[in-house]
Chain A
Amino acid sequence: MNLTYPALPGLLDRRRGLCGRTSALGHLRRDGNLAKKGAEIIWECLELLGVEHVFGYPGGAILPAYDAMTKYSVHHVLVRHEQGATHMADGYARASGRAGVALATSGPGATNMVTGIATAMMDSSPVVCITGQVGSALIGSDAFQETDITGITLPITKHNYLVTRPQEIAPSLREAFQIANSGRPGPVLVDITKDAQTSSCEFSWAASEPRVRRSERKSVLDPANLAAAQHLINHARRPVILAGHGIILSGAENELLALAELADIPVALTLLGIGAFPAGHRLCLGMMGMHGEAWVNQAVQEADLLIALGMRFDDRVTGNLETYAQSAKKIHIEIDRAEIDKNVRVDVPLAGDLREVLGRLLPGIQRSQHRDWLARIETSKRESAARDIQNLPDRGHLYAAHVIHDLWRATCGDAIVVTDVGQHQMWEAQYYRHDKPRTLITSGGLGTMGFALPAAVGVKLARPDAEVWVVAGDGGFQMTMAELATVVQEKLEIKIAIINNGYLGMVRQWQEFFYDRRYCSTPLLSPDFVKLAEAFGIPAFRVHTREQVIPALRAVRQQPGPALIDLQVEQQDSVFPMVPAGADLHKMIRRPTPLFERVPGA
């Protein structure tokens, strides 16, 4: 049907510019305005918002949207479980910095998203979830596949909407994207009733501009606090920068580098901060916290100044709050005011966007040197090296830490690694040295097992040219391995390394340390992952010894499509050092070494 359009030049120009399409599907109403079905408005908006990929699963209440989808340019990825859709959208967002979009039907489709939404909430990841809802007349009647998803997701979203009229679709969706991306990012859910999708209304992009709800609480920095922070930094003798996810979210990597180099301050990273500061830099300490290296946690405990940047003093980072960094003054720069003074009382709070605040801070920072302080950290680094598994003989065992180290060497540190949750995740954080932001994608706050494989789908679509590796344990991989089919269907070149120790390794480690080695429900039977991968048409390899690792990595990297390695690693290895939950940060359990301790059986 060819139509001449009424005067809506702005809208049409923008559409042409974005997707090169000129045919719209609305019909002219008698008054000459462009009327569209709600289902079409969803896709109009997604196109105009620049969305390229949507991860979803169809079902009754979202069918009108799926029916309209084929007419639009947005690429839809059919997932195998809605949890996968949310992790994919999350992975896409973390790798690209742009909001990821997940789509599902009402009821079970929506509730399956809950874990992925909570994951995105805890890690400040911009995800927009669109769910179908039963017809508005049926809401509250316990209709088939009805669930109160806005009620369920209220505490795990930044905001959510129940949309019952087509007129509300465009403003709600646009506002959802704005909220997901602004300030401290996070997930937003838009629940759209079936009748809102099927009925029509006039659609105008210009008229659906999101509301300006309140004056943006701009970072009006207290000049006194700014000066106080500069003074503390200029006069510190043992300063440490604690860099978190906020650096990456704000794009403040250069400002961080400038601050560290100018004032000669070592940088400790949170798990999600990894990549915010180059691992190869002389001032990079590595990860802090429960599985942080000894020299990092010791430096934090001995510091006289902590400069916390875009991090939230999580319990996994601080250990016992009573004894945490007692001699240190603390500066906290954070966009979310609700994080300030939450866990750790700070001396100088600066609320605002990191890049902006650091930009204001830097001109008042004097060039200084902390030779003694850095030398002291270096000594403790050398002492730790004697316990480092890298420097211990493997005695024919295959250690996960060695595997990660080999993966780092084989990929020249250039891969994007998407990890699952558990021991392998900590070894990855310790032994894969990330120099660039957004190259470690991992579930930190919620610790969601099953995250890696689906998240990698989103990562690969966001960064098609990057080498993307999944590093997962045998436990977590089995939680979402159905998404292998999605990987194959989408022809995505994702490489998968399963760190297979036959246990739910991190839980086993806790049982070993804190539950008298009663390994209850942690030994784990797995399928033959090589055969499993082959059933999906994915070439796969198995590795038992250290010598086989590099050749297998080479073989996998040479495969044109997805490929998998099942790495049969040492069963009862543990992640060291470890600060037991709630213990003092400097009281960590170290890896036993024949140089210092008598190790039974060593």
Chain B
Amino acid sequence: MPERREQHKFVLYVENEPGVLNRVASLFRRRGYNIESLAVGHTERPDVSRMTILAGVNEGAAPRVEANLYKLVNVLSVEDVTFVPSVSRSLALIKVEAPQESRHRLMEVVRAFRARIVDLSLRSLVIEATGTESKIQALVDVLRPFGILEIARSGQVLMARGREGQAAPQSSIPAELCLEHQTSPSG
């Protein structure tokens, strides 16, 4: 009996160390959850990376996925932001056939989507687009008739919107995440 899946978005702060991605990914793998999108990158601290993971998990299982992620030693914090008002962006590089006769129309499409042309050659051009998944999907659909040669899409990155009434803006990495070696010798 296949269980119903619901898509959840998790934002993780993890230690910037080899093998951490493997540990996180493995946690989804062993439960048979497919990771739809994954983005990992540096943060304002060199020892901390940020992951944004979109995955379909069993109905009601998201709090347990969160708790299990917390059990990984290298995971510093986890937030399920599925229902948090947030901004999400992904990036796409799209190489399209561009013979002389269709270039003009392509330029119009690029302008309409507020995308950019980042490479131009005799027979093709590369378009860079940033936006929500649906915007990028719409661009891909419009470009398809021109002849898409290659697409590279990043995973989604997500950020919660600024909250009303918050006392003072502060670093998103929880202050209590102390990664330093304790300096006070105990011996």
Contacts and interface: CB of A to CB of B under 8 A. Distances in A.
Interface of A: 10-11, 13-14, 150-151, 154-155, 158-159, 162, 171, 179, 205-207, 209, 211-215, 217, 336-338, 340-342
A66 B47 CA distance: 35
Interface residues of B, number: 29
Nearest to B73: A159
B contact face: mostly helix, strand, loop, or mixed: loop
Contact of A209 (B70, B71, B182): B182
Give the residue among B26, B72, B176, B185 with the most A Cβ atoms within 10 A: B185
Give the residue among A14, A155, A171 with the most B Cβ atoms within 10 A: A155
Contact of A207 (B68, B70, B185): B185
Contact of B177 (A159, A179, A215): A215
Given A155-B30, A159-B72, A217-B70, 14 more contacts: A11-B187, A14-B187, A154-B22, A154-B23, A205-B187, A209-B181, A209-B185, A211-B179, A213-B73, A214-B76, A214-B176, A214-B177, A338-B64, A338-B71
B27 to A, nearest CB: 8
Given A154-B26, A213-B76, A213-B179, A206 B186 contact: yes
Contacts of B60: 341
B84 interface: no
Interface of B: 15, 19, 22-23, 26, 30, 60, 63-64, 67-68, 70-74, 76-77, 174, 176-182, 185-187
Contacts of B178: 212, 214-215
16 contacts: A11-B187, A150-B19, A151-B22, A158-B71, A158-B73, A159-B72, A171-B181, A206-B186, A206-B187, A207-B185, A211-B179, A211-B181, A214-B176, A217-B70, A336-B67, A338-B64
A214 B182 CA distance: 12
Contacts of B63: 341
Given A11-B187, A342-B64, A337 B181 contact: no
B187 A337 contact: no
A238 to B, nearest CB: 28
Contacts, number: 66
A565 B127 CA distance: 80
Contacts of A179: 73
Contacts of A209: 181-182, 185-186
A125 to B, nearest CB: 16
A48 to B, nearest CB: 9
B26 A207 contact: no
A158 B63 CA distance: 19
Contacts of B71: 158, 336, 338
B25 to A, nearest CB: 10
A336 B66 CA distance: 12
A164 to B, nearest CB: 10
Nearest to B72: A159
Given A155-B30, A215-B177, A10 B73 contact: no
Contacts of A154: 22-23, 26
Given A155-B26, A155-B30, A206-B185, A211 B180 contact: yes
Contacts of A342: 64
Given A206-B187, A207-B181, A207-B185, A338 B26 contact: no
Give the residue among B67, B185, B187 with the most A Cβ atoms within 10 A: B187
B64 A212 contact: no
B182 A212 contact: yes
Give the residue among B73, B180, B182 with the most A Cβ atoms within 10 A: B73
Contacts of A336: 67, 71
B75 to A, nearest CB: 8
A407 B179 CA distance: 53
A214 B77 contact: yes
A181 to B, nearest CB: 13
A10 B187 contact: yes
Contacts of B176: 214-215
A170 B22 CA distance: 24
A185 to B, nearest CB: 12
Contact of A337 (B15, B23, B70, B179): B70
A341 B179 CA distance: 31
Nearest to B65: A338
A212 B185 CA distance: 14
Contacts of A10: 185, 187
A424 to B, nearest CB: 32
Contacts of B30: 155
Contacts of B179: 211, 213
A411 B64 CA distance: 44
B67 A338 contact: yes
Contacts of A214: 76-77, 176-178
Contacts of A340: 64, 67
Contacts of A171: 181
